[in-house]
A and B are shown apart, each in its own frame.
Chain A
Amino acid sequence: MYNFDFVKPASVEDAVAALGGDEAQPLSGGMTLLPSMKQRLNAPATLVSLTGIDALKGVCRDGDMLVIGAATPHAVVARDAAADYPALAELAGQIGDPMVRNRGTIGGSLANNDPSACYPSAALASGATIVTDKREIAADDFFQGMFATALDEGEIITSVRFPIPQKAAYAKFAQPASRFALTGAFVAQYANGVRVAITGASENGVFRWSEAEAALSSNFSADALAGLAASADQMIGDLHGTPEYRAHLVGVMTRRAVAAAH
């Protein structure tokens, strides 16, 4: 790793101020950032840890919303979201491994927007709102392709607001080495329709599978997806799976998520 100055502010304001410095970067768990820094692929002059800010932590119900603080570790979401939004809790419980879940945070995952990460699919399929230190961003506007988001330089996520669906589930087919999603499908049924978000498959990062949404909105059953196939165009091809295989998995995982939705 290149060396850097480390700061650990106790408030969002102090964090934002620290991030205003030259080459400053936020650290929120660091499960992806620190390994990339070990490879010297990332060279912040200052690393601003967000995990000392209590205001960024916790899971709470707010009417028909579940609000999760950005610095809440996956393990806490897996535990504390279970009653209100079980599919989201189950997704959090499948990220990485127990040790990663104790450190990695939802804000860190969304801000990184790894094309194979699990959380972006939940945020997008839920139509979540990403709340930052200066604004609110709809999930549909937030994810802007592999590792790209609507966040400005120095802007930090403070919380994520998930509308609680009637039914939802996440079906993940893990890449055997990294255990990230080779393809993951998050399906969420709301009063005004069904949203389906796919992670792991596309070169453009997480995306909504609109044909499946249309079919499921009129008939929420795995059968409604019969004959529906995702296109292999712009799907990721690598040593773990061809674009065709990923396109196929999009269908399989979506059907499985629908069947498992609760």
Chain B
Amino acid sequence: MPKDGGIGASTKRREDVRFLTGNGRYTDDINLRGQAHAYFLRSQVAHGKINGIDTAAAEAMDGVIRVFTAKDFEGVGGMPCGWQITDKHGQPMQEPKHPILAEGKVRHVGDPVAVVIAETLEQARDAAEAIELDIEDLPAVVDMKAALAEGAPKVHDDLTSNLCYDWGFVEENKAAVEDAFAKAAHVTTLELVNQRLVANPMEPRVAVGDYDPWNDNSTLYTTSQNPHVIRLLMGAFVLGIPEHKLRVVAPDVGGGFGTKIFHYAEEAFCTFAARQLKRPVKWTSSRSEAFISDAHGRDHVTKIQLALDDANNFTAIRTETYANMGAYLSTFAPSVPTWLHGTLMAGNYRTPLIYVNVKAVFTNTVPVDAYRGAGRPEATFQLERVIDKAARELGVDPVELRRQNFIKADQFPYATPVAVEYDTGNYDATMDKMLEISDYAGFAARAEESKKRGKLRGFGIAHYIEACGIAPSNLVGQLGARAGLYESATVRVNATGSISIYTGSHSHGQGHETTFAQVVAEMIGIDAGQVEINHGDTANTPMGMGTYGSRSLAVGGSALVKATNKVINKAKKIAAHLLEASEADIELADGKFTVAGTDKSVDWAGVTLAAYVPHNYPLESMEPGLEETAFYDPSNFTYPSGAYGCEVEVDPETGEVEILAFTAADDFGNVVNPMIVEGQVHGGIAQGIGQALLERCVYDEDGQLVSGSYMDYAMPRADDLPNYTVDHSCVTPCTHNPLGVKGCGEAGAIGSPPAVINAVIDALQRGGHSHVTHIDMPASPSRVWAAMNAQ
């Protein structure tokens, strides 16, 4: 291992130095000469007909440069949707137009109606108030089932209804599933809400559009997880700017959690307006604006049923889910409740028959799309809750019921009835590890001690499976994806041996600058400090799909390994020439090429210098230079899994839940930087606990957002959360990528919500509240108290 850290070292993060000294460069830190400011005037009603927009007074105000409305975008495309779902009848989903600025109607609170460009942001905002909007209120649809009722107001008048699609998976299995339920010895039914959440990365979104008349090029600086995707979608589908005339830069990005994957109207607007005005245009979201303009997450209403035979084997699962799409289709929205959710409904279990039905619904609310975990937390929550409920109904231990139905370590690869094949895993091992670390055996004594203090103690268990690194491209294309899902890397070796890496992955907190350097340093045997990672700028990185879905190391890292191997192969040829040996005899170790069995060697820098100063070089058979690019398209998903244990105490007087201990035993395959992996798990668990106990995005029946700021949307704080015990010592390496890695970014957010709710229910049951079999998230004090006192 290089002395400053290779694969497996908890190398300190190099990016931290700039963040800790105020030298980070986030999009809002970018101010261009001559920059104007954009303020978006947004609908204050959930549904309305636009009868008129009078901008004359606003245009006359101090500092105002121009006011834009929908009519300025004639001939400009709408915001594209990146995934088309085919419904259970073989028909494509209903796909409404999503204009940059509202046309004819406003469809949610926050829908942008006009934009004022002024010299300062406050001037733009002052002028926006002078715009006279004539909007006629229309009845809003907020509740999904009401939206599907006969005669419900339509969000989009040109669609046949508010139903985006009705998806059945696997439709061919439906009859067999029904049959299995008819024959079941026991059926457990659970109806639940996986509530709407707001991702809330701490950095609000920002877009700065720039235009250079010298070369007719446009540049967008934006808070994105995937600048190449934005360039493709915005250039090709919205603005009609070819890629070579369009550069997208996502510099330091202050967290994403999914909501910065998507292409947003503000990005297209600022790029468009900069071209129109021939000056840079900047938009910075306020947090209040973020609540009504960032895509939200989750918002599923589900009924799940689990069938068991008389020996408590799972025989079938069927689910019916209503998934809220909001008012428009955000970039990847249709895929979340379908392919990212239905394919995970087998969990870690050998259930032979599964049928998943999902009805996606348009409502007069902010669009809903992927949020940390995206579909997989929804699947895991249902499954792990219904198994817990079944265990209670049957009077069996929830650990044993899970174990009995686990896919066993010797059964991999394992093809599930929901179309995926798990390559590796050992669920008994992770379960054992979690139970050991959390001292599950000692729980009863701790519960007794709590009881003496008048508190109700509970232990909750969840075991999850995740599918990361969604792939391969040809398969996802068949499933409706309108993008490829490979990743790319360029390894540019410099003459003196230092290395510049250009990756299509994007780091917005994940630490790629450190871990990717560790990988390359390990492979070549040089110090990681000699390897620099560049990302986030389409002008210098190869086309890549960015970072989401816990894909960066598994997919981006694999591309990096491929490119590095190409470099090593060429370097070996150069070394063979320099050492006058056969290429087959050249060995690379610790940054030195040696002729096997001899002491003849040349070091890394000697080879790299020869590549760029090719005086002694086989020019007749090889090009000079040492730079390689690779694209990697995975052959399968990766399947991290893990066991989570949560121990809570409930205050029976107030219903308040305190988390006393939280344990995670994950199998992420091989791990490059344990410190960073553990940090990812911590953060995921915090978001999962946030969902389980605190966070809730609420609309009233008129479509007004009730939880529109941190005054009402409860973000987890330091004193809400425990320390976490995390373990990743159970390792079953991924079999189909070169590093054997699986991905760790979302695991915490997937495994923790059911663990917490199972713990709360366990506490209440042990405390004598046997009528409480479910509490919807967040299990707020008010809800827990109400559940205890409902008879």
Contacts and interface: CB of A to CB of B under 8 A. Distances in A.
A18 B685 CA distance: 52
A227 interface: no
Contact of A176 (B286, B653, B698, B780): B780
Size bracket, chain B contacts: 20 to 34
Interface residues of A, number: 20
A1 B121 CA distance: 10
Nearest to A242: B782
A218 interface: no
A192 B41 CA distance: 58
A165 B122 CA distance: 49
Interface in B284-307: 286, 288
B694 interface: yes
A6 interface: no
A239 B707 contact: yes
Nearest to A246: B782
Interface stretch (B523-531, B673-681, B709-717): B709-717
Contacts of B129: 40
Contact of A245 (B122, B694, B786): B786
Contacts, number: 50
Contacts of B715: 177
Contact of A249 (B125, B288, B654, B698): B654
B102 to A, nearest CB: 21
Interface in B363-391: none
B122 A177 contact: no
Interface in B772-786: 780-782, 785-786
A44 interface: no
A177 B653 contact: no
B627 interface: no
B720 A176 contact: yes
Given A239-B706, A245-B786, A252-B653, A176 B694 contact: yes
B551 interface: no
Contacts of B707: 177, 239
Interface string B748-791: 00000000000000000000000000000000111001100000
A209 interface: no
A1 B39 CA distance: 13
A252 B714 CA distance: 23
Contacts of A177: 694, 707, 710-715
Given A3-B122, A177-B715, A240 B780 contact: yes
B654 A241 contact: no
Contacts of A242: 782, 786
B654 A239 contact: no
Interface string B678-701: 000000000000000010101000
B311 to A, nearest CB: 44
B178 interface: no
Given A2-B126, A249-B654, A252-B654, A240 B782 contact: yes
B654 A173 contact: yes
A240 B712 CA distance: 8
A178 B286 CA distance: 18
A208 interface: no
A1 B122 contact: yes
Nearest to B125: A40
Contacts of A38: 286
Given A241-B781, A245-B782, A178 B696 contact: no
Interface string A231-257: 000000011111011001100100000
Query: By CB atoms of chain A within 10 A, which of B286, B698, B715, B780 has the most?
Result: B780
Contact of A178 (B122, B655, B711, B720): B711
Query: By CB atoms of chain B within 10 A, which of A177, A238, A244 has the most?
Result: A177
Given A3-B122, A177-B714, A178-B711, A239 B698 contact: yes
Nearest to A97: B717
Given A176-B780, A177-B713, A239 B786 contact: no
A40 B127 CA distance: 13
Nearest to A173: B654
A245 B655 CA distance: 10
A244 B126 CA distance: 43
A239 B712 contact: yes
Contact of A39 (B288, B653, B654, B786): B288
Contacts of A239: 696, 698, 706-707, 712
Contacts of B712: 177-178, 238-240
A38 B288 CA distance: 10
A48 to B, nearest CB: 21
Contacts of B786: 242, 244-245
A244 B782 CA distance: 9
Interface in B714-741: 714-715, 720
B470 to A, nearest CB: 34
B713 A248 contact: no
B777 to A, nearest CB: 13
Given A173-B654, A239-B696, A239-B712, A248 B288 contact: no
Contacts of A244: 786
B711 A245 contact: no
Interface in A195-244: 238-242, 244
A38 B287 CA distance: 11
A176 B689 CA distance: 13
A2 B125 CA distance: 9
B782 to A, nearest CB: 4
Query: By CB atoms of chain B within 10 A, which of A176, A177, A240, A248 has the most?
Result: A176
A165 B672 CA distance: 62
B116 to A, nearest CB: 14
A248 B714 contact: no
Contacts of A173: 654, 656, 781
B378 to A, nearest CB: 22
Interface in A1-33: 1-3
A252 B782 CA distance: 13
Given A239-B712, A252-B654, A245 B785 contact: yes
Query: By CB atoms of chain A within 10 A, which of B126, B715, B782 has the most?
Result: B782
A100 B311 CA distance: 60
Interface string B98-142: 000000000000000000000000100110010000000000000
A178 B715 CA distance: 9
23 contacts: A1-B122, A2-B126, A38-B286, A39-B288, A40-B125, A173-B654, A173-B656, A173-B781, A176-B694, A176-B720, A176-B780, A177-B694, A177-B710, A177-B711, A238-B712, A239-B698, A239-B712, A240-B712, A240-B780, A241-B780, A245-B655, A245-B781, A245-B785
Given A173-B781, A240-B712, A252-B654, 4 more contacts: A173-B656, A177-B710, A239-B706, A242-B786
Interface of A: 1-3, 38-40, 173, 176-178, 238-242, 244-245, 248-249, 252
Interface of B: 122, 125-126, 129, 286, 288, 653-656, 694, 696, 698, 706-707, 710-715, 720, 780-782, 785-786
The 3 closest A-B CB pairs, nearest first, are A177-B714, A241-B782, A176-B714
